[in-house]
Structure 1
């Protein structure tokens, strides 16, 4: 199927748009190595995905706390302080230019996360770019984690577009794979992942960085 230029671009939030440095710093302040964060984050996703697979659900914060409890000996209070640091995250430097590029092109922008509602909005506000994002969507509202098909179809419905009119940009291959399986246009670029997983459907757009991913979407033929 030929992919067309999207009417709406949805961005994944954690790592794709937001720098998790404050969370890493909070881990270090609690006496844990900052290098542990990718493992904790991966365990958080694993726990959330497993819940979806068996038909259960838990919010991101509770799932992150569970991962910390599994991988560290931090107290409940210490784990809570680490989780609080998500409220201090901020956009990567390359985010503002691409949001302005999409706004100039007349393409609507939303965020799509399974994170705690309000985190993305607050971070975008700190970065001075909240006005460039139409709305921030959290799948906590439908109690399903990405990459479940329902999340992407829900996002398309909220944006009042057909799935093929919505694109998802993410630095996580599993997210792009899920979006494409739901009928969206997927765009992947490396942030934490070195390569796109070969076991997934190839991404519709694969680029070397965030700006190139957005430029490639804008270069698709207009419907």
Structure 2
């Protein structure tokens, strides 16, 4: 049997500056090769919505995405439902996952992610970096309950787990004639070390901060020459793989 593309109904939630149009269910089934009875979970009283990505919002500077590129992705569902190949973007600002089916690259859809546990993005190789897999999963250890439905990028997983949380906020432009008149999407990242007891401790990417959060790694970090120079995500992925290997 052909894999399910959409085991769940895809819905577009209202979001500022997003252009959308409803698509009748029979057209959506044709769009995805679906036929009645093949297991696609469509609600015939609803519409799938076609979403225009927000990468070029008029009067808004910045990107709402963790990564603005469409990257090949694999979804891991809590019910183990299989999916056909697709590309994804994680819209951090609006808290949604946009997907693009390979057969219709000009259209994007919002995934109903209620049963999504994690997604894996395939980042292509460049002239200076090899291809790699980027894993995003729910931030279930977050102290703030409102953050537990968000997705964080897993930079390292061993006895400890280092994750990166993307934060996007919308700042209104100046209406007084002083300052930038454009609305602006501001971006920053937060890093957390998740301990074996599942507590998430905010850290900075330096030896002192990570040693404080993981005292049993302190001596190994102190003795690791690479740790003393590590500043970037990739540096700390390599350092922690050496001092805290996956068992």
TM-score after normalising by structure 2: 0.26
Structure index of larger Rg: 2
- The TM-score normalised by the length of structure 1 is 0.28
Return the structure number with greater relative CO, CA threshold 8 A, min gap 6.
Answer: 1
Higher strand fraction: Structure 1 or Structure 2?
2
